[in-house]
A = this chain, B = another copy of it.
């Protein structure tokens, strides 16, 4: 059993070569993999400022800067798991419904092969079909959800399947366990007074950004492990969980968000959970800084996810 290795940047300059996630080989034979990083370049379920469809390609480009060894966690994830770039799922830019079917059946193949997906969106709508597929295999899941917004709307513009509704749909379909949902980073403004009520009434643990940043990370870690325990867990990371200064390249940056250090600490504190899948969503390269720090950030956070799986 061989472990795919990233291209060696000491031989191949980082500005060279065809861009894949983390410079890993592009492998589509699932038998060779334990974890697949895959793109889902679809933002049709997002309103307002567009562009997260461009994110997988851009994050691939910027991920060349991520080296293989995690100093903080003292681990090289590519030596623990067989990880590669699985390419992008096929999507239909003109239909949410068709695309969500494509996503679900695309993830089904990973489930059949016992491969853990790390999905790179795309907008937050994609989490719902991913959860449908994973829960088919693993049953209802715990959820760690980092985001500025709860994404538990019932509908948007009359539609059930949008970037604002994935976790209400997941609750309705019994894909996630309400008492094992932790939302971190919630803040800002809401359309209605009761926007947060849905989750709170179901027993979500909602940790606002301000609250999270005032906690000791050890306390956060203890709380998460206490709530989630050994339940199979999905991690969904909306880049707008971070502050606009750290992640400007997103649809709707909200003041008072996490710093990049908070984001690192947050993911690292998940070490030991039974992660069965993860995504990172809502990176909008067209809105990113000249230096593309939002894509750099997303690439690094994907790497941290690989290290805690």
* Copies of this chain assembled into the complex: 6
When the two chains form their complex, are residues B53 and A15 in contact, meaning their CB atoms are under 8 A apart? yes
**A50 on interface, CB distance cutoff 8 Å:** yes
Q: From residue 7 to 31 of chain A, which have CB atoms closer than 8 A to chain B?
A: 9-20, 26
Cβ B67 vs Cβ A190 within 8 A: yes
State the Cβ distance, A18 to closest chain B Cβ, in Å: 6
Q: Of A137-145, A223-231, A283-291, which stretch is located at the interface?
A: A283-291
In the complex, which range does the number of interface residues on chain A fall in? 35 or more
Task: Identify the closest chain B residue to A6 (Cβ).
Answer: B191
CB neighbours of A249 from chain B (8 A): 290-291
Give the complex CA separation of A248 and B287 in angstroms: 15
Contact with B along A83-99 (1 / 0, CB 8 A): 00101101111111010
Among A47, A162, A257, the most chain B Cβ lie within 10 Å of the Cβ of A47
Compute how far the CA of A49 lies from the CA of B189 in the bound complex, rounded to whole angstroms: 29
For the residues of A in contact with B, the DSSP-based class is: loop
Q: Which of chain B's residues have a CB closer than 8 A to the CB of A213?
A: 261
Q: Do residues A96 and B94 form an inter-chain contact, with CB atoms below 8 A?
A: yes
8 Å CB interface, A278-305 against B: 284, 286-291, 293, 296-297, 300-301, 303
- Residue on B with the closest CB to A61? B57
User: Which chain B residues lie closer than 8 Å to A195 at the CB level?
Assistant: 69, 71
State the CA gap A91–B43 with chains docked (Å). Answer: 17
A39 within 8 A of B: yes
Choice from B16, B53, B60 contacting A18 with Cβ under 8 Å: B60
> Chain A 49-93, CB within 8 Å of chain B: the 1/0 string?
111011011001100111111111010100000000101101111
Are A11's CB and B87's CB within 8 A? no
Contact A244 B293 (CB under 8 A): yes
| B-contacting residues, A217-273, CB 8 Å | 243-246, 248-250, 252-257, 259-261, 263-265
CB<8 Å pairs between A and B, sample of 14: A18-B19, A19-B19, A49-B54, A67-B191, A71-B190, A72-B187, A72-B208, A74-B193, A92-B159, A189-B300, A243-B246, A243-B261, A244-B296, A255-B263
